[in-house]
Structure 1
Amino acid sequence: MEVKIGVHNAPREIVVDVDATQEEIEALVTKAIAGGVLDLSEAKGRRVLIAGERISYVEMGRQAQGTVGFR
């Protein structure tokens, strides 16, 4: 699942592709905002740590699959 995270005073959002459900991500974000650190890991091994107090927004959703042809 693709997760986009907006961070205070950062010019761009952070995009992470994780193998987790929306419920799992929501629980991690809620815990981080309550006073912790958001810790996300990608399947490729990249790890992202963000202080919960710095999180502006979190957008969750699947990456769009490429299509062939015209719609």
Structure 2
Amino acid sequence: MDIRIGIQHAPRELVIETEESAESVQAALETALGDGSIATLKDSKGGTVLVPGAKIAYAEISSPTQKRVGFLG
């Protein structure tokens, strides 16, 4: 699953690929937004990403798209 998070006053968005469920990611982000705490997310390579809830401008949670290989005829 892919997560895109916009951070206030940052020119680029944060893009994370994770194996976590959409529900757990959404719950972590909602909690951080609600009380201004830090959302802790695990990426697919085993790393940890900390996102300050008070600075989140938006978040987009989506499933990865299958990349097509070959030629369309």
Q: What is the TM-score with the length of structure 1 in the denominator?
A: 0.89
Alpha-carbon RMSD:
1.3
* TM superposition outliers: structure 1 runs of 4+ over 6 Å: none
Q: How does 1:47-62 map to 2 (within 5 A)?
A: 47-62=48-63
Q: What is the alpha-carbon distance in structure 2 between the residues aligned to residue 32 and residue 21 of structure 1?
A: 17
1:34 match: secondary structure = helix
Query: 2:33 aligned with 1:12, yes or no?
Result: no
Match of 1:30 in 2: 30
Q: What is the TM-score with the length of structure 2 in the denominator?
A: 0.87
Equivalent residues, number? 71
Q: What is the alpha-carbon distance in structure 2 between the residues aligned to residue 55 and residue 14 of structure 1?
A: 10
Instruction: For structure 2, list consecutive stretches of 5 or more residues without a partner in the other structure.
Output: none
Match of 2:46 in 1: 45
